[in-house]
Structure 1
């Protein structure tokens, strides 16, 4: 049987290899850094479903292991199977992540080089996430048990969400690829993602303001829609607004 041309793309990450593996081994984290899965993954038994321009692909990941193996088998809509070999190994106090790219039959040299470039870009995104230490939810840290730890918004346009919340509330942001952005308000951390359906509803998120009238003006200037003007409630006053994607939030003040 003929062999295929292979290229190993790798990156060095300054973080314990076990932590890198733990993050990579969770399929739900892959859309944050693997551009080929940026449309999101939906669990279907032992497999995960990934929508794409050529139809829905079925992905099966290697089971949890102690050897840093994050291999996954991708079955395309036409039945073609692609085995992606992805490994994490210790490199001193850090980690080395390696992806073995195979040149598939009929693939031109230009296409092969293009795929290699995309893999290198994905690994660079992974490196940025891991070395920033901001890998999303922090469940596992002592003191976080039973506490609200993270808030996530499904949005239609990350740039628009950043513009609104940055203008209205002064939030800061860290981008993790085209489908995910982390926000910080100085106390709470959360994320904007385009990998899920957009819609209002769910628990009401309430922010605080020292000057309620000033905050209402800032929200309106940034493009928010006031759905409940300022009213009193036990403990203070508040108003409700809808952001550009339709999420309803509230702002309250003790004054």
Structure 2
């Protein structure tokens, strides 16, 4: 199994990037690889429609370290842990998402990596376009 760390520099304060990205209500705006359509927040669980079907997402507790790790429970019942971080960067913030090749062909893995890259590009565009966007 291989892993790829997909990162994107965002011209914004790291705390602002973190607060926007960790807010489940914002997922449909930028995380097309995960969130589409209906989203229900139930305590620390988020139930949402995704390209894979109905999934449940659980984020780690909010923190000051920029950690946005989250578990996604798939329709099959399998749970995938997704490491994600917001780091300080000389140009603002850098968001890093680790994509792991779990039971995927090389072609499917390449598509997942490309989808995450596109999601992070959308996230950056949203934040950089609206300096008032935040938590």
Fold conserved between structures, TM > 0.5: yes
For residues 82-101 of structure 1, what are the structure 2 equivalents within 5 Å? Answer: 82-101=80-99
- In the alignment, structure 1 residue 15 sits paired with structure 2 residue 12: yes
* Matched-pair contact (CA < 8 Å) for 1:6–1:100: yes
Alpha-carbon displacement from aligned partner over 1:69-110 (angstroms, at most 9, x marks no partner): 1111001122111111111000025000100000012x1111
Q: For 2:52 and 2:125, how far apart are their aligned partners in 1? A: 30
Unmatched 5+ stretches in structure 1: 141-255
* Matched-pair contact (CA < 8 Å) for 1:71–1:83: yes
Q: For 2:54 and 2:105, how far apart are their aligned partners in 1? A: 24
Q: Which residue of 2 aligns with 1:116?
A: 113
* Matched-pair contact (CA < 8 Å) for 2:35–2:51: no
* Matched-pair contact (CA < 8 Å) for 1:129–1:135: no
Q: For 1:131 and 1:41, how far apart are their aligned partners in 2? A: 25
Select the structure with the greater relative contact order (CA < 8 A; seq sep ≥ 6).
Answer: 2
Structure with bigger helix share is 2
Q: For 1:75 and 1:61, how far apart are their aligned partners in 2? A: 12
- In the alignment, structure 1 residue 102 sits paired with structure 2 residue 100: yes
Alpha-carbon displacement from aligned partner over 1:180-239 (angstroms, at most 9, x marks no partner): xxxxxxxxxxxxxxxxxxxxxxxxxxxxxxxxxxxxxxxxxxxxxxxxxxxxxxxxxxxx
TM-score between the two structures when normalised by the length of structure 2: 0.91
Equivalent pairs, count: 134
Unmatched 5+ stretches in structure 2: none
- In the alignment, structure 1 residue 31 sits paired with structure 2 residue 28: yes
- Deviant stretches of 4+, over 3 Å: 52-55
Q: For 1:101 and 1:126, how far apart are their aligned partners in 2? A: 17
Q: Which residue of 2 aligns with 1:69?
A: 67
Alpha-carbon displacement from aligned partner over 1:151-202 (angstroms, at most 9, x marks no partner): xxxxxxxxxxxxxxxxxxxxxxxxxxxxxxxxxxxxxxxxxxxxxxxxxxxx
Change in Cα spacing, 1:34 to 1:52, as seen in structure 2 (3 Å) is: closer
Cα RMSD (Å):
1.8
1:133 deviates by 2.0
Instruction: Mark the structure with the bigger radius of gyration.
Output: 1
* Matched-pair contact (CA < 8 Å) for 1:15–1:130: yes
